[in-house]
Amino acid sequence: MDSFQTVLRFFTNQKATIGYSFMALMTIGGERLFSLVSFQCPCNQDQNFAYGMTFLLGPAAVLMILGLFFNNRLWRLYTGCCLNPVKLCPHGNCFGCARVLLSIFTGACVAPIMWLSVALLSGTFYECAVSGLEDKVVVDLFCKNKTLKCRDELARVPCGRSQLPGDESKDLLLMLRAQSQILGWCLIIISAFVGLLGTCYKNCRSKVSYLQLTFWKRYMEKEMERFDILSVEYATKLADRNLQSFFDNKDPAPFPFPNHKAWEEIS
Amino acid sequence: MDSFQTVLRFFTNQKATIGYSFMALMTIGGERLFSLVSFQCPCNQDQNFAYGMTFLLGPAAVLMILGLFFNNRLWRLYTGCCLNPVKLCPHGNCFGCARVLLSIFTGACVAPIMWLSVALLSGTFYECAVSGLEDKVVVDLFCKNKTLKCRDELARVPCGRSQLPGDESKDLLLMLRAQSQILGWCLIIISAFVGLLGTCYKNCRSKVSYLQLTFWKRYMEKEMERFDILSVEYATKLADRNLQSFFDNKDPAPFPFPNHKAWEEIS
Amino acid sequence: MDSFQTVLRFFTNQKATIGYSFMALMTIGGERLFSLVSFQCPCNQDQNFAYGMTFLLGPAAVLMILGLFFNNRLWRLYTGCCLNPVKLCPHGNCFGCARVLLSIFTGACVAPIMWLSVALLSGTFYECAVSGLEDKVVVDLFCKNKTLKCRDELARVPCGRSQLPGDESKDLLLMLRAQSQILGWCLIIISAFVGLLGTCYKNCRSKVSYLQLTFWKRYMEKEMERFDILSVEYATKLADRNLQSFFDNKDPAPFPFPNHKAWEEIS
């Protein structure tokens, strides 16, 4: 029983790590699924770019929106701030609010960046998108040292249906994939670096010590948990009382309940 | 026991997410089933468009109607409002009612949009529908850079029975599918964005804080649940009393029961 | 134990949904069975139409009659109204009775419409029926752009025994199936829409609020249930008493029993 508790505590501590690993696995699986089942490059100069970009950026946008949607902190801060804009800047301190919004936004960026990295490392979407570019500079760059046909047939390369000699077509494909993967690694390194810098800055400016911070984080979690449990309990009691009094046709008994202001304060 | 409670609470909290995931899986399964078992493009210029559109929009319409049908809030608001139109505008406040209707309608739109997205991402229905268009501009756009036969044979492309050279036919198919998938992603992104904006707006105008909102949501759920249980209890008691008095040929005992007005008020 | 209760309550609430899903599955299974085992298009111009229509409409008619047959409300209303026609129009209010009959009829229509939709979506029966039409306009429409033989051979198409070139025959089959499926979807959408409108109208004219309605629905169910139990109980007691008094050759003891009028009233 004791060792089970230890294991449980370990997993609770590593919740964030496990969550991110799970997310990464889901992203990789989703990317595999999309590029095998749904993605089929149209291989025509007009559509390639739009199509590839849709598959590269579409899921990222959806993930970003979902990330904002399921963020409790955003809603807690935001709710009711149209009727009471002062809430956003308590004590004239709009800067703090902006910092919270920035941190929320950063949190929502994790999933899209993961998707982009995975998609770029696999390279399928990028190949299709870039092969449809009509910009002269780019095409010249790609077709350097190649036969003249290359310009016309570039869009058909990702399908393997171009009329270029096999070697050239393979060269082009390898080049595009290499670009995509280099981009992907750059994205990963840059975002990891930015994340590290951000955490450094945040912790550096914090007024309390590290151990105190971890304590408060624990406290927040526990408070959230207890709030859930207690609110369900109170809601059940309140509902019971009201319905009883309704069916029995009697006045409801008084019920101790926090007033509006108290709710505002704890939010 | 405690950990079981935690797991249960987690699932209860994520009820909406699980419900939507289940719905998405059902939609994908349904789409697969339809396009494999039932859908067979007629490949003739007169019918393609009507047929494809029927499969694209028909299920969406049915899902929309079902969504409205199973919405308790709609019926609660709506019931009896012919005899008492004032009910829709309590205190001359028709705007609030319109907002509730709008939110009900939005809720009913989720399933149809899901269906449309899945169907467009798979592309089968769209290919068939669009290949039957007779509009000159569209046909010209599709048959750009193709042989003259393309115009006549376009409708037969989705069946793979056209007399075009294999390459051209494949190009056309890939192009149609690409259009369909781009449309699908646009639909997904736009509706996710609109959903986020709508939630922002709604929460922004809310008079109570976020935690109070979650508490009231819990309360509503619990009240509904307790109402179910209590109404079954009272109904059993009442039925028992009435039938007893009927068989025993006696007058029924008095029974405390809320009057008509009280019912009106809690609705 | 508690969670088991919750699951049970959930299923009780969703009784109607589960019932309809089951009915839909049965209909689909029945249609599959009929078209595989029993249905074999005669493929001759005189019989095709009658044969196809029999399979399309016959089961629908049977389902309709069965639906009326197993409807308790119909019999409760109808029983004894030849001897006492006033019962149909209590207080000169024939309109209410007509409304009840209409609602009974609507309920009985659900299964036939389900059958028709499934049969039309599968298309086998419709193909056979329509290929036997001798109306000149219809045949001209079907044989547009086809060889002259088409008119004579149309009836043999559903069997795959026509002497038309393979392509034309396949075109015809696909066209007929597409018509059938479009008709099927139209039927589904129209009946769903009519159902929604009807429910709206009914609820709109209801004198009581929605929650009261749900309570009375529960009450009706419970009353029916208790009536079953209690009537068995009382019938046992009464039979016991009568037989006892018969064997003992004594007058039966008096038994409190509702008179004829009371029975009439509760029906």
Q: How confident is the model at residue B13, as a pLDDT?
A: 67
Chosen from A69, A75, A100 to mutate, greatest number of chain B CBs within 10 A: A75
* Closest Cβ–Cβ partner in C177, C186, C222 for B239: C222
Q: Are C118 and C23 in contact (CB under 8 A)?
A: no
Confirm or reject contact between A65 and chain B (CB < 8 A): yes
Within 13 Å and on the Cβ side, how many CA atoms surround B163?
6
Within 184-223 of B, beta carbons closer than 8 Å to A belong to 185-186, 188-189, 192-193, 195-196, 199-200, 203-215, 218-219, 221-223
Give the closest of A235, A239, A267 to B209, CB-based.
A267
Let me know: does A157 contact A130? Beta carbons within 8 Å. Answer: no
Rounded to the nearest 10 degrees, how much is the dihedral formed by the CA atoms of B93, B94, B99, B104?
120
Residue A90's pLDDT is what?
60
What is the pLDDT of chain A when averaged over all its residues?
79
**Cβ contacts (< 8 Å) between A51 and chain B: which residues?**
178, 181-182
pLDDT of the residue at A191: 93
Q: How close does chain B come to C238, measured CA to CA in Å? A: 12
- Cβ A80–B174 below 8 Å, yes or no? no
Helix, strand, or coil here: C165?
Answer: coil
The predicted pLDDT at position A128 comes to: 87
Q: Between chains, do B249 and C259 touch, taking CB under 8 Å as contact?
A: yes
Residue B91 is predicted with a pLDDT of 59
What's the mean pLDDT when you consider all of chain C? 78
Structure tokens at C148: 């002259």
End-to-end CA distance of chain A: 37
Please indicate whether, in this complex, the C-beta atoms of A248 and B256 are within 8 angstroms of each other. Answer: yes
Of residues B9 and B177, the one with the higher pLDDT is B177
Mean pLDDT along residues C37-55: 85
How sure is the predictor about B115, in pLDDT bands with cuts at 50, 70 and 90? Answer: very high
Chain A hits for B206, Cβ within 8 Å: 79-80, 83
User: Does any CB of chain B come closer than 8 Å to the CB of residue C62?
Assistant: no
What pLDDT is attached to residue A113? 92
Cβ(C52)–Cβ(C128) below 8 Å: yes
Read off the pLDDT of residues B51-107 as tens digits, 9 standing for 90 and up: 899 999 999 999 999 888 877 777 766 666 666 666 656 556 667 777 778 888 888
Looking at residue A216, what is its pLDDT? 80
Residues of B in contact with C214 (CB under 8 A): 231
Whether residue C257 is predicted with pLDDT greater than 60 in this model: the reply is no
Of B43, B80, B161, the CB nearest to C209: B80
Q: How close, in Å, is residue C86 to chain B by CA atoms?
A: 24
Measure CB to CB from residue C209 to each of B38, B41, B267 and give the nearest one: B267
Residues C48/C132, Cβ–Cβ less than 8 Å: yes
Q: What is the mean pLDDT of chain B?
A: 78
Distance CA C22, CA C24 (A): 5
Q: Express as a percent the part of chain C with pLDDT over 90.
A: 10
Question: For a pLDDT cut of 70, what percent of chain A falls above it?
Answer: 84
Assess whether pLDDT exceeds 80 at residue C82.
no
Q: Does C247 touch chain B (CB under 8 A)?
A: no
**Alpha carbon distance C118, C178 (integer Å):** 14
B178-235 pLDDT per residue, tens:
899 999 999 999 999 998 888 888 777 766 666 677 777 777 777 777 777 777 777 7
- pLDDT reported for residue B185: 92
Of A47, A169, A189, give the one whose Cα is nearest residue A120: A189
Question: C230, B244: Cβ pair inside 8 Å?
Answer: yes
Q: What is the pLDDT along chain A (267 residues), one digit of tens a residue?
A: 567 777 777 777 777 788 888 888 888 898 888 888 888 888 888 888 888 899 889 999 999 988 888 777 777 666 666 666 666 566 666 777 777 788 888 888 888 999 999 999 988 889 888 888 877 787 777 777 777 777 777 778 887 777 777 787 888 888 889 999 999 999 999 999 999 998 888 888 777 777 777 888 888 878 777 777 787 777 777 777 777 776 666 665 555 555 555 655 555
Contacts with B103 (C-beta within 8 Å, 6 or more apart), sequence order? B202
Q: CB pairs below 8 Å between A and B: how many? A: 148
- C178-214: per-residue pLDDT in tens? 889 999 999 999 999 998 888 888 777 766 666 666 7
pLDDT over 90 for what percent of chain B?
13
Structure tokens at B189: 């992104």
